[in-house]
Amino acid sequence: MNETQNDTFNAKYLCRLLVRYRKSILIVLITSSLLAFLFSSSLFITPLYKSFVILYPTSSNSISKVLISTTFQADKDILEFGETEQTEQMLQILNSDRIRNLIIDRHHLMEHYGINPAQKYPKTKLNKLYDKRIKFRKTEFNAVKITVLDSNPEIAARIANDISDLYDSTMNAMQKEVAVKAFQLVEVEYNSLCDEMAALEDSLNVLRSLGVFDYESQVEMLSQQLAVELGRSNNQGVKNIQNQLDILAKYGGAYYAISEKLDHDRLQLSLVKTKYEEAKVDATQEIPHKFIVNTATPAEQKDFPKPLLIVFLTVFATFILMVMLLGLFDRYGNFFREEANGGQKNQKKAENR
Protein backbone atom coordinates (compact mmCIF):
# COMPACT_ATOMS: atom_id res chain seq x y z
CA MET A 1 0.00 0.00 0.00
CA ASN A 2 1.49 3.38 -1.02
CA GLU A 3 1.46 6.75 0.72
CA THR A 4 -1.87 7.69 -0.77
CA GLN A 5 -3.44 4.54 0.56
CA ASN A 6 -2.28 5.30 4.08
CA ASP A 7 -3.27 8.95 3.88
CA THR A 8 -6.49 10.19 5.38
CA PHE A 9 -9.21 12.50 4.04
CA ASN A 10 -7.55 15.74 5.11
CA ALA A 11 -7.54 19.06 3.22
CA LYS A 12 -4.19 18.39 1.55
CA TYR A 13 -5.26 14.98 0.32
CA LEU A 14 -8.60 16.36 -0.88
CA CYS A 15 -6.90 19.07 -2.92
CA ARG A 16 -4.60 16.51 -4.59
CA LEU A 17 -7.65 14.33 -5.31
CA LEU A 18 -9.58 17.19 -6.92
CA VAL A 19 -6.63 18.22 -9.05
CA ARG A 20 -5.97 14.62 -10.17
CA TYR A 21 -9.58 13.95 -11.24
CA ARG A 22 -10.58 17.51 -12.13
CA LYS A 23 -11.62 16.68 -15.69
CA SER A 24 -13.81 13.76 -14.66
CA ILE A 25 -15.39 15.79 -11.85
CA LEU A 26 -16.05 18.74 -14.14
CA ILE A 27 -17.68 16.56 -16.80
CA VAL A 28 -19.93 14.82 -14.29
CA LEU A 29 -20.96 18.07 -12.61
CA ILE A 30 -21.82 19.75 -15.90
CA THR A 31 -23.78 16.70 -17.00
CA SER A 32 -25.68 16.51 -13.70
CA SER A 33 -26.52 20.23 -13.79
CA LEU A 34 -27.88 19.95 -17.33
CA LEU A 35 -29.96 16.90 -16.41
CA ALA A 36 -31.25 18.58 -13.25
CA PHE A 37 -32.25 21.67 -15.22
CA LEU A 38 -33.95 19.52 -17.85
CA PHE A 39 -35.90 17.34 -15.41
CA SER A 40 -36.97 20.37 -13.35
CA SER A 41 -38.42 22.09 -16.40
CA SER A 42 -42.12 22.14 -17.33
CA LEU A 43 -41.49 19.18 -19.66
CA PHE A 44 -41.30 16.86 -16.64
CA ILE A 45 -42.72 18.82 -13.68
CA THR A 46 -45.95 20.82 -13.79
CA PRO A 47 -45.17 24.37 -12.58
CA LEU A 48 -47.25 25.59 -9.65
CA TYR A 49 -48.20 29.17 -8.83
CA LYS A 50 -48.83 30.36 -5.27
CA SER A 51 -51.53 32.71 -4.00
CA PHE A 52 -52.32 33.46 -0.38
CA VAL A 53 -54.81 35.27 1.85
CA ILE A 54 -54.10 36.53 5.37
CA LEU A 55 -57.05 36.77 7.79
CA TYR A 56 -57.71 37.78 11.37
CA PRO A 57 -60.73 36.36 13.22
CA THR A 58 -63.07 38.70 15.07
CA SER A 59 -63.11 38.62 18.84
CA SER A 60 -66.87 37.99 19.12
CA ASN A 61 -69.26 35.76 17.16
CA SER A 62 -72.59 37.11 18.44
CA ILE A 63 -73.85 40.48 17.24
CA SER A 64 -76.72 40.52 19.75
CA LYS A 65 -74.42 40.03 22.74
CA VAL A 66 -72.18 42.90 21.66
CA LEU A 67 -74.65 45.38 20.22
CA ILE A 68 -78.03 44.69 21.90
CA SER A 69 -77.59 42.96 25.23
CA THR A 70 -77.31 45.22 28.30
CA THR A 71 -76.36 42.40 30.66
CA PHE A 72 -73.54 40.78 28.70
CA GLN A 73 -70.12 41.96 29.82
CA ALA A 74 -67.32 41.47 27.30
CA ASP A 75 -63.71 42.56 27.36
CA LYS A 76 -63.60 42.72 23.57
CA ASP A 77 -65.96 44.23 21.03
CA ILE A 78 -66.85 43.16 17.53
CA LEU A 79 -64.20 45.42 15.97
CA GLU A 80 -61.25 43.85 17.78
CA PHE A 81 -59.03 41.10 16.40
CA GLY A 82 -59.42 37.67 17.91
CA GLU A 83 -56.69 36.04 19.90
CA THR A 84 -55.30 32.50 20.10
CA GLU A 85 -58.62 30.81 20.86
CA GLN A 86 -60.42 32.46 17.94
CA THR A 87 -57.47 31.74 15.63
CA GLU A 88 -57.54 28.05 16.52
CA GLN A 89 -61.30 27.99 15.89
CA MET A 90 -60.75 29.60 12.49
CA LEU A 91 -58.19 26.93 11.55
CA GLN A 92 -60.65 24.18 12.52
CA ILE A 93 -63.40 25.71 10.38
CA LEU A 94 -61.08 26.20 7.39
CA ASN A 95 -60.07 22.53 7.61
CA SER A 96 -63.69 21.36 7.82
CA ASP A 97 -65.27 19.03 5.29
CA ARG A 98 -67.95 21.63 4.59
CA ILE A 99 -65.45 24.09 3.08
CA ARG A 100 -63.40 21.32 1.45
CA ASN A 101 -66.42 19.86 -0.37
CA LEU A 102 -67.67 23.27 -1.48
CA ILE A 103 -64.26 24.19 -2.94
CA ILE A 104 -63.95 20.81 -4.67
CA ASP A 105 -67.41 21.11 -6.23
CA ARG A 106 -67.19 24.80 -7.11
CA HIS A 107 -63.83 24.51 -8.90
CA HIS A 108 -64.30 20.96 -10.23
CA LEU A 109 -61.00 19.91 -8.65
CA MET A 110 -61.45 16.23 -9.50
CA GLU A 111 -61.30 17.13 -13.18
CA HIS A 112 -58.86 20.01 -12.72
CA TYR A 113 -56.32 17.79 -10.95
CA GLY A 114 -56.66 15.16 -13.67
CA ILE A 115 -58.09 12.45 -11.41
CA ASN A 116 -60.25 9.85 -13.11
CA PRO A 117 -63.38 9.16 -11.02
CA ALA A 118 -63.40 5.59 -12.34
CA GLN A 119 -59.95 4.78 -11.01
CA LYS A 120 -59.27 3.18 -7.65
CA TYR A 121 -59.76 5.41 -4.59
CA PRO A 122 -60.33 8.70 -6.47
CA LYS A 123 -61.59 10.61 -3.40
CA THR A 124 -58.57 9.56 -1.36
CA LYS A 125 -56.22 10.78 -4.08
CA LEU A 126 -58.18 14.00 -4.42
CA ASN A 127 -58.05 14.68 -0.68
CA LYS A 128 -54.30 14.01 -0.55
CA LEU A 129 -53.69 16.39 -3.44
CA TYR A 130 -56.02 18.96 -1.84
CA ASP A 131 -54.04 18.78 1.41
CA LYS A 132 -50.80 19.11 -0.55
CA ARG A 133 -51.93 22.10 -2.63
CA ILE A 134 -54.07 23.98 -0.05
CA LYS A 135 -52.66 24.73 3.39
CA PHE A 136 -53.70 26.75 6.44
CA ARG A 137 -51.35 27.89 9.17
CA LYS A 138 -51.24 30.33 12.06
CA THR A 139 -48.76 33.16 11.69
CA GLU A 140 -46.58 34.47 14.48
CA PHE A 141 -49.03 37.38 14.95
CA ASN A 142 -52.10 35.16 15.49
CA ALA A 143 -53.39 35.65 11.95
CA VAL A 144 -54.28 32.77 9.62
CA LYS A 145 -52.59 32.36 6.24
CA ILE A 146 -54.37 30.47 3.45
CA THR A 147 -51.89 29.28 0.83
CA VAL A 148 -52.96 27.74 -2.49
CA LEU A 149 -50.70 26.18 -5.11
CA ASP A 150 -52.07 25.50 -8.58
CA SER A 151 -50.91 25.10 -12.14
CA ASN A 152 -53.15 28.03 -13.10
CA PRO A 153 -52.37 31.29 -11.26
CA GLU A 154 -55.91 32.61 -11.79
CA ILE A 155 -57.47 29.50 -10.27
CA ALA A 156 -55.03 29.59 -7.35
CA ALA A 157 -56.11 33.14 -6.51
CA ARG A 158 -59.82 32.34 -6.91
CA ILE A 159 -59.60 29.30 -4.65
CA ALA A 160 -57.80 31.26 -1.92
CA ASN A 161 -60.35 34.08 -2.04
CA ASP A 162 -63.29 31.65 -2.17
CA ILE A 163 -62.04 29.86 0.94
CA SER A 164 -61.83 33.24 2.68
CA ASP A 165 -65.43 34.03 1.67
CA LEU A 166 -66.68 30.58 2.63
CA TYR A 167 -65.37 31.02 6.15
CA ASP A 168 -68.03 33.67 6.84
CA SER A 169 -70.87 31.71 5.25
CA THR A 170 -69.81 28.52 7.03
CA MET A 171 -69.62 30.22 10.42
CA ASN A 172 -73.01 31.86 9.89
CA ALA A 173 -74.58 28.59 8.73
CA MET A 174 -73.22 26.67 11.72
CA GLN A 175 -74.35 29.32 14.16
CA LYS A 176 -77.78 29.64 12.56
CA GLU A 177 -78.44 25.94 13.10
CA VAL A 178 -78.31 26.67 16.83
CA ALA A 179 -79.61 30.25 16.74
CA VAL A 180 -82.79 29.36 14.81
CA LYS A 181 -83.68 26.58 17.25
CA ALA A 182 -82.98 28.87 20.21
CA PHE A 183 -85.13 31.60 18.66
CA GLN A 184 -87.98 29.15 18.10
CA LEU A 185 -87.91 28.14 21.78
CA VAL A 186 -87.84 31.75 22.98
CA GLU A 187 -90.56 32.67 20.49
CA VAL A 188 -92.84 29.96 21.85
CA GLU A 189 -92.26 31.22 25.40
CA TYR A 190 -92.77 34.84 24.35
CA ASN A 191 -96.00 34.13 22.46
CA SER A 192 -97.30 31.95 25.29
CA LEU A 193 -96.69 34.73 27.78
CA CYS A 194 -98.38 37.28 25.52
CA ASP A 195 -101.42 35.00 25.13
CA GLU A 196 -101.60 34.47 28.88
CA MET A 197 -101.44 38.21 29.53
CA ALA A 198 -104.15 38.84 26.93
CA ALA A 199 -106.39 36.30 28.69
CA LEU A 200 -105.74 38.00 32.06
CA GLU A 201 -106.57 41.38 30.56
CA ASP A 202 -109.85 39.97 29.24
CA SER A 203 -110.68 38.65 32.69
CA LEU A 204 -109.97 42.05 34.23
CA ASN A 205 -112.18 43.72 31.63
CA VAL A 206 -115.02 41.43 32.62
CA LEU A 207 -114.53 42.34 36.28
CA ARG A 208 -114.35 46.03 35.42
CA SER A 209 -117.67 45.71 33.60
CA LEU A 210 -119.07 44.47 36.89
CA GLY A 211 -117.73 47.53 38.63
CA VAL A 212 -114.52 46.15 40.11
CA PHE A 213 -111.67 48.52 39.22
CA ASP A 214 -109.42 48.79 42.25
CA TYR A 215 -110.45 46.55 45.12
CA GLU A 216 -108.64 48.23 48.02
CA SER A 217 -109.33 51.86 47.10
CA GLN A 218 -112.94 51.07 46.18
CA VAL A 219 -113.59 49.29 49.51
CA GLU A 220 -112.09 52.21 51.43
CA MET A 221 -114.07 54.81 49.50
CA LEU A 222 -117.38 52.88 49.68
CA SER A 223 -116.92 52.24 53.39
CA GLN A 224 -116.58 55.97 54.01
CA GLN A 225 -119.56 56.74 51.81
CA LEU A 226 -121.59 54.03 53.57
CA ALA A 227 -120.93 55.71 56.92
CA VAL A 228 -122.13 59.02 55.49
CA GLU A 229 -125.31 57.51 54.10
CA LEU A 230 -126.00 55.74 57.37
CA GLY A 231 -125.63 59.04 59.17
CA ARG A 232 -128.16 60.55 56.82
CA SER A 233 -130.48 57.53 57.23
CA ASN A 234 -130.56 57.22 53.44
CA ASN A 235 -131.74 53.66 53.10
CA GLN A 236 -131.65 53.64 49.31
CA GLY A 237 -128.10 55.01 49.28
CA VAL A 238 -127.05 52.47 51.88
CA LYS A 239 -128.62 49.70 49.79
CA ASN A 240 -126.79 50.80 46.63
CA ILE A 241 -123.46 51.03 48.39
CA GLN A 242 -124.03 47.66 50.02
CA ASN A 243 -124.69 46.10 46.62
CA GLN A 244 -121.38 47.48 45.39
CA LEU A 245 -119.61 46.17 48.45
CA ASP A 246 -121.17 42.75 47.90
CA ILE A 247 -119.85 42.73 44.33
CA LEU A 248 -116.40 43.71 45.58
CA ALA A 249 -116.56 40.99 48.22
CA LYS A 250 -117.51 38.44 45.61
CA TYR A 251 -115.05 39.38 42.86
CA GLY A 252 -112.43 41.41 44.67
CA GLY A 253 -110.22 38.44 45.49
CA ALA A 254 -110.20 37.31 41.87
CA TYR A 255 -109.43 40.86 40.74
CA TYR A 256 -106.53 41.13 43.18
CA ALA A 257 -105.08 37.71 42.16
CA ILE A 258 -105.38 38.47 38.46
CA SER A 259 -103.77 41.89 38.93
CA GLU A 260 -100.86 40.37 40.85
CA LYS A 261 -100.40 37.69 38.19
CA LEU A 262 -100.53 40.30 35.44
CA ASP A 263 -97.89 42.45 37.15
CA HIS A 264 -95.63 39.39 37.48
CA ASP A 265 -96.17 38.48 33.83
CA ARG A 266 -95.37 42.03 32.73
CA LEU A 267 -91.99 41.78 34.49
CA GLN A 268 -91.40 38.32 33.04
CA LEU A 269 -92.39 39.52 29.56
CA SER A 270 -89.83 42.30 29.78
CA LEU A 271 -87.06 39.75 30.39
CA VAL A 272 -88.33 37.32 27.78
CA LYS A 273 -88.72 40.10 25.23
CA THR A 274 -85.04 40.99 25.63
CA LYS A 275 -84.08 37.36 24.99
CA TYR A 276 -86.55 37.24 22.11
CA GLU A 277 -85.01 40.28 20.42
CA GLU A 278 -81.46 38.96 20.90
CA ALA A 279 -82.35 35.51 19.61
CA LYS A 280 -84.17 37.02 16.61
CA VAL A 281 -81.11 39.07 15.66
CA ASP A 282 -78.83 36.02 15.94
CA ALA A 283 -81.25 33.91 13.88
CA THR A 284 -81.90 36.41 11.10
CA GLN A 285 -78.82 38.62 10.79
CA GLU A 286 -75.35 37.76 9.51
CA ILE A 287 -72.07 39.44 10.39
CA PRO A 288 -68.49 39.08 9.11
CA HIS A 289 -66.31 36.86 11.24
CA LYS A 290 -62.96 37.94 9.81
CA PHE A 291 -60.73 40.86 8.92
CA ILE A 292 -58.94 40.47 5.57
CA VAL A 293 -55.37 41.72 5.67
CA ASN A 294 -54.30 40.48 2.21
CA THR A 295 -56.50 39.22 -0.63
CA ALA A 296 -55.13 36.72 -3.14
CA THR A 297 -53.92 37.90 -6.53
CA PRO A 298 -52.65 35.80 -9.48
CA ALA A 299 -48.92 35.16 -9.22
CA GLU A 300 -46.68 36.29 -12.07
CA GLN A 301 -43.91 33.77 -11.41
CA LYS A 302 -44.12 30.10 -10.59
CA ASP A 303 -43.38 29.02 -7.06
CA PHE A 304 -42.52 25.37 -7.82
CA PRO A 305 -40.28 23.94 -9.03
CA LYS A 306 -37.27 26.22 -8.49
CA PRO A 307 -34.77 25.13 -11.20
CA LEU A 308 -31.77 27.03 -9.80
CA LEU A 309 -32.25 25.53 -6.34
CA ILE A 310 -32.71 22.03 -7.78
CA VAL A 311 -29.60 22.44 -9.96
CA PHE A 312 -27.57 23.70 -7.00
CA LEU A 313 -28.64 20.86 -4.71
CA THR A 314 -28.08 18.28 -7.45
CA VAL A 315 -24.59 19.58 -8.27
CA PHE A 316 -23.68 19.78 -4.59
CA ALA A 317 -24.90 16.24 -3.86
CA THR A 318 -23.16 14.92 -6.98
CA PHE A 319 -19.91 16.62 -5.99
CA ILE A 320 -19.98 15.16 -2.47
CA LEU A 321 -20.77 11.70 -3.81
CA MET A 322 -18.01 11.88 -6.41
CA VAL A 323 -15.43 12.97 -3.84
CA MET A 324 -16.36 10.04 -1.61
CA LEU A 325 -16.30 7.53 -4.46
CA LEU A 326 -13.07 8.86 -5.92
CA GLY A 327 -11.48 8.82 -2.48
CA LEU A 328 -12.46 5.19 -1.97
CA PHE A 329 -11.30 4.32 -5.45
CA ASP A 330 -8.02 6.13 -4.98
CA ARG A 331 -7.35 4.57 -1.59
CA TYR A 332 -8.38 0.99 -2.28
CA GLY A 333 -8.35 0.63 -6.06
CA ASN A 334 -4.57 0.33 -6.30
CA PHE A 335 -4.50 -1.98 -3.29
CA PHE A 336 -6.87 -4.48 -4.91
CA ARG A 337 -4.98 -4.24 -8.19
CA GLU A 338 -1.68 -4.93 -6.41
CA GLU A 339 -3.23 -7.85 -4.59
CA ALA A 340 -4.47 -9.21 -7.88
CA ASN A 341 -1.11 -8.71 -9.59
CA GLY A 342 0.69 -10.34 -6.63
CA GLY A 343 -1.58 -13.35 -6.83
CA GLN A 344 -0.90 -13.71 -10.54
CA LYS A 345 2.89 -13.58 -9.94
CA ASN A 346 2.70 -16.23 -7.22
CA GLN A 347 0.66 -18.44 -9.53
CA LYS A 348 3.26 -18.10 -12.31
CA LYS A 349 6.09 -18.97 -9.91
CA ALA A 350 4.21 -22.05 -8.81
CA GLU A 351 3.70 -23.11 -12.42
CA ASN A 352 7.40 -22.61 -13.24
CA ARG A 353 8.37 -24.88 -10.32
Per-residue pLDDT of the chain (353 residues; tens, 9 = 90+): 444 444 445 777 778 777 877 887 888 888 888 877 776 655 556 788 999 999 999 876 666 665 565 555 555 556 677 788 889 999 999 999 999 999 999 999 999 999 998 888 999 999 999 999 999 999 988 899 999 999 899 999 999 999 999 999 998 888 888 888 988 999 999 999 999 989 988 888 877 777 777 666 666 666 666 676 666 776 776 677 677 766 777 777 777 788 888 888 888 888 888 888 888 888 887 778 889 999 999 988 876 666 677 777 888 888 888 888 877 777 766 554 555 455 455 555 555 55
Domain boundaries, given as residue ranges, for the chain: 3-43+307-339, 49-181+288-294, 184-284
What's the CA gap between 237 and 227, in Å, rounded? 10
Q: Are 40 and 305 in contact (CB under 8 A)?
A: yes
Distance CA 104, CA 96 (A): 13
Amino acid at 13: Y
Cβ pair 220, 229 in contact under 8 A: no
The kind and range of the H/E element at 293 are strand 290-294
Span 49-181+288-294 CATH architecture:
2-Layer Sandwich (3.30)
Q: Residues 125, 127, 130, 131: is their CA dihedral positive or negative?
A: negative
Q: What is the pTM of this model?
A: 0.63
Pick from 101, 91, 128, 96: nearest CA to 113: 128
Longest dimension (CA), the chain: 175
